[in-house]
Amino acid sequence: MIINTFTYQVDHGWSVDAFPEVDSENTLVLIFAAPAYRDELSLIEKIYKAYPKSKIMGCSTAGEIAGAQVNDMSLSVAVLKFESSSLILTSTSVQSPSDSYAAGEFLAKQLPVEGLRGVFVLADGLRINGSQLVSGLGHVPDHIPVTGGMAADGAQFQHTWVLHEGQAVSGMATAVGFYGEKFHMTHGARGGWESFGPERKITRSENNILYELDGKPALALYKEYLGKLANDLPSSGLKFPLAIRDGHSDTKCLVRTILGVDEENQSLIFAGDVPEHFLARLMRASFDKLVGGAVESAELAREDLNIGSPMLAVAVSCVGRRLVLGEHVEDETEAMLEHLPDGAKQVGFYGYGGISPYSTGSCDFHNQTMMLTTLEEF
């Protein structure tokens, strides 16, 4: 496998003099772009023209990861030419969040199971319900890893997009399937957030809308904990996500990020589903714990790697983590890269959620989590 990574930054231009000449049917191009490039596609068009045979996918972000760097107003690009593996790229449009399950199911069914070794997904971060998309993707057998992320537009929560046939399209989900005995994908997903306050039962919810905790209005309870920070909802809520689990015996906690509030109904709108009867607890973070979560992700992904093979690491983190880390955000991307094998290349983005198995088995939808996917070919 031949791996090339490069960037475009407003002040510096392209980081390479010429695009690598590796166009082929088995070349994958990943493009993670600042949201503003929706209205200025000329740079992305140059990439499409350079790789007419290749499979190209990408999305808008809340920060573009290139190596250990986290950039804004940039493009972070990876070009992978596989020598023994083949690719199938498929996409579907989603008109409303209620279509999210069907979108995941469609993507899964477009990828034949025979020979399938891994799936990577990118989806609109606002129009698509990540939990329902992942449920639909459950039609991919559990032994095949499915990872990916949800597009973002900084902390604006207004317009996110996914690349489709050279256009920046909202309401789109796209997936690439990797085929061949020599292809290998690993993954890791950890958060590093700390729970606080009492654990409460979700007594009323509908998909990703939380109405009541312990029979009390969810928004009112949430505002009690946030105090003055409640005046800045929903953006301030990014720093205080919710941990949910399916009862006291469930050791797997999933994290949910607030996307919006409904004052009239006293409800909270999350990026993923918050099922009734689950237990929920508020979370907060420290720099050290978040960076520690990123390191855990890298260590989990490293466990099954074939050390010595060319490898690309695709990092998908969440915008709330970036807001908490602030100017220290590169501490987590640098720490992750340091815990990967020498020579590993890293690209990725900050988004509105990620897709990855918690450890093994079927994929889950995560918020406020650092997810790492590695791609290699033996």
For the stretch 139-184, pLDDT in tens is 999 899 999 999 999 888 889 999 999 999 999 999 999 999 999 9
Residue 220 · residue 268 · CB < 8 Å: no
Tokens 């796209």 appear where? 174
Q: Which residues on neighbouring strands pair with residue 182, listed in sequence order?
A: none
So what's the pLDDT on residue 361? 67
CA angle 84, 372, 178 (to 5 degrees): 25
Residues 6+ apart with CB under 8 A from 147: 118, 119, 120, 121, 185, 187, 314, 316, 354, 355, 356, 357, 363, 371, 373
- Strands ordered across the beta sheet of 116-123: 86-93, 172-179, 116-123, 146-150, 354-357, 363-366
Residue-wise burial string across 147-185, b where 16 or more C-beta atoms lie within 10 A, e elsewhere = bbbbbbbbeebebbbbbbeeebbbbbbbbbbbbbeebbb
Please report, in tens digits, the pLDDT of each residue of the chain (378 residues total).
999 999 999 999 999 999 999 999 999 999 999 999 998 899 999 999 999 999 999 999 999 999 999 999 999 999 999 999 999 999 999 999 899 999 999 999 999 999 999 999 999 999 999 999 999 999 999 899 999 999 999 888 889 999 999 999 999 999 999 999 999 999 999 888 888 889 999 999 999 999 999 999 999 999 998 889 888 888 788 888 899 999 888 877 888 888 889 999 999 998 889 999 999 999 887 788 889 989 989 998 888 777 777 899 999 998 888 988 889 999 999 999 999 988 899 999 999 999 998 766 678 888 888 999 999 998
pLDDT at residue 289 in the model: 85
Q: Which pLDDT tens digit goes with each residue over 349-368?
A: 999 999 998 766 678 888 88
Angle between helices 330-338 and 287-302 (to 10 degrees): 30
Spatial contact of 19 and 47, defined as CB atoms under 8 Å apart: yes
Residue 360 confidence (pLDDT) = 67
- Tokens 């988004």 correspond to 351
231-251 residue pLDDT tens: 888 878 888 889 999 988 887
Q: How far is CA 23 from the centre of its chain?
A: 26
Taking alpha carbons only, the member of 148, 157, 193 closest to residue 349 is 148
DSSP 3-state of 309: coil
Provide the token pair at 131.
């939990």
